[in-house]
């Protein structure tokens, strides 16, 4: 495989022949660290390697333990989130019904020639539940 390195400015470019084994290793490094193969080559050319602070195996073990703990907490809180979603949908339905009843009450008061009430706090509460 031919690798062509072009500068951001200017005309100079470098052409390098890379064998398939080396290119495969570059792609594996890119997948492992979540970067593009071009970034791996750029880091290698610039020498911007970072040495891990501490024991790498110990850090990987701690990360694995934290990931397992995260999934345990996810299993624990998933039912609670589902119930909270159900309650928020119930609140939204109740807010819609309440809004309809307020409108009906207002119409009845107008029909009876009574002064309609403007309850701003109740309207804000209804608006809150309809938004969320």
Same domain, 10 and 40: yes
Strand runs labelled E in 1-132: 2-5, 14-17
- Residue 125 vs residue 38, higher pLDDT: 125
Model confidence at 13: pLDDT above 80? no
pLDDT score at 116: 82
Total of domains in the chain: 2
Does 63 share its domain with 101?
yes
How would DSSP label each residue in 99-117?
HHHHHHHHHHHHHTTPPPP
114 within some domain: yes
Per-residue pLDDT of 53-95, as tens digits, reads 778 788 889 999 999 999 999 999 999 999 999 999 999 999 9
Residues 29 and 60 in one domain: no
For residues 37 and 26, the answer to whether their CB atoms sit within 8 Å is yes
Q: Is residue 7 part of a domain?
A: yes
Q: Which domain holds residue 110?
A: 56-131
Which pLDDT does position 48 carry in this prediction? 67
Report how far residue 105's alpha carbon sits from residue 101's, in angstroms, rounded to the nearest whole number: 6
pLDDT number for residue 75: 94
Domain match, 60 and 124 both: yes
Q: Is residue 123 part of a domain?
A: yes
């Amino acid at each position: 495989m031919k690798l062509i390195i072009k500068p951001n400015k200017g005309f100079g470019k470098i052409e390098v022949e890379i064998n398939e084994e080396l290119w495969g290793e570059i792609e594996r490094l890119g997948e492992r660290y979540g970067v593009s193969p071009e970034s791996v080559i750029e880091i290698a050319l610039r020498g911007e390697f970072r040495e891990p602070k501490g024991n790498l195996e110990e850090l990987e073990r701690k990360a694995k333990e934290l990931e397992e703990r995260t999934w345990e907490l996810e299993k624990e809180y998933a039912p609670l989130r589902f119930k909270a979603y159900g309650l928020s949908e119930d609140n939204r339905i109740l807010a819609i019904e309440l809004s309809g009843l307020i409108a009906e009450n207002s119409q009845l008061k107008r029909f009876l020639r009574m002064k309609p009430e403007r309850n701003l706090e109740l309207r804000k509460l209804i608006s809150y539940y309809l938004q969320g």
